[in-house]
């Protein structure tokens, strides 16, 4: 209780404890990033297929899409990537261990428009985040993991491709320091589209 007096008369006012503040969930706080496991191949394949379909599926025929997904995002293909020494895959997981995103570091490839010597280049490939987990900073965490590994291996440039009609992804890369250096074809079955090639000095 508290006593308030402004006229000489005491008034007793009950003190009500402040309600406990609800702990707000901080986006991305429960997300960890680590090397992908072969046991996660099916989950990675599903995220790849679902995210690609949600982002690009409307722009190609059903036949071309089905062919591309079968060739690129089958569990067998993902397992092959996980066992390829030139490809390193990271997975983003929530507190339960569920895979919510992936990214790859690919060595030994480049595009003619990427500045510098081929030996100094590495590719950041397939940055995909489950559509239900957008806005939690997962993409930035995955990119940071690739950049850290690339620097550790002595690479001077990271390059990537982003579809010309995917401004949301392009803005993320631009915010993180990637700049457009050219363009490249992206083939999905019989459909040929244009990707921007972006590069960042490490």
List the chain domain ranges: 29-159
User: Does position 10 have pLDDT exceeding 70, yes or no?
Assistant: no
Q: Strand 11-13 vs strand 99-107: parallel, antiparallel, or unpaired? A: unpaired
d(CA 196, CA 45): 24
User: What are the tokens at 195?
Assistant: 């990707």
What is the rounded CA–CA span in Å between residue 130 and residue 136?
11
Which pairs count as long-range contacts for 107-113, CB under 8 Å and 24+ apart, including other chains? 107/153, 110/159, 111/159, 111/161, 111/182, 111/184, 111/197, 112/182, 113/181, 113/182, 113/183, 113/184, 113/197
pLDDT for residue 6: 44
Per-residue confidence at 186, pLDDT binned at 50, 70, 90?
very high
pLDDT value at residue 27: 54
CA atoms within 13 A on the CB side of 124: 33
Residues 82-125: pLDDT tens digits? Answer: 999 999 999 999 999 999 999 999 999 999 999 888 899 999 99
Specify the 3-state DSSP secondary structure of 35.
Answer: strand
Sequence-distant (≥ 6) Cβ neighbours of residue 175 within 8 angstroms:
none
- Tokens in use for 108? 């030994």
CATH of 29-159, one of 3.30.540.10, 3.30.43.10, 3.40.50.300, 3.40.630.30: 3.40.630.30
Asked whether the predicted pLDDT for residue 79 surpasses 70, the reply is yes
The confidence score (pLDDT) of residue 189 equals: 87
pTM of the model: 0.82
């Amino acid at each position: 209780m508290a006593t308030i007096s402004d006229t000489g008369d005491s008034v007793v006012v009950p003190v009500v404890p402040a309600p406990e503040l609800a702990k707000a969930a901080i986006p991305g706080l429960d997300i960890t990033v680590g090397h992908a496991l072969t046991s996660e191949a099916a989950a990675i394949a599903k995220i790849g297929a679902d995210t690609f379909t949600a982002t690009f599926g409307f722009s190609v025929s059903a036949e071309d899409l089905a062919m591309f997904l079968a060739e690129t995002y089958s569990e067998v293909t993902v397992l092959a990537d996980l066992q390829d020494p030139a490809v390193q895959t990271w997975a983003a997981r929530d507190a339960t261990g569920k895979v919510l995103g992936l990214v790859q570091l690919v060595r030994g490839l480049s595009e003619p428009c990427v500045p510098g010597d081929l030996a100094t280049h590495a590719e950041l490939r397939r940055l995909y985040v489950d559509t239900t987990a957008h806005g939690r900073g997962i993409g930035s965490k995955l990119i940071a993991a690739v950049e850290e590994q690339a620097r550790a291996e002595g690479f001077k440039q990271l390059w990537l491709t982003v579809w010309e009609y995917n401004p949301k992804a392009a803005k993320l890369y631009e915010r993180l320091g990637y700049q457009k250096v050219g363009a490249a074809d992206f083939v999905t079955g019989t459909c040929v589209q244009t990707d921007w090639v972006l590069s960042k000095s490490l």
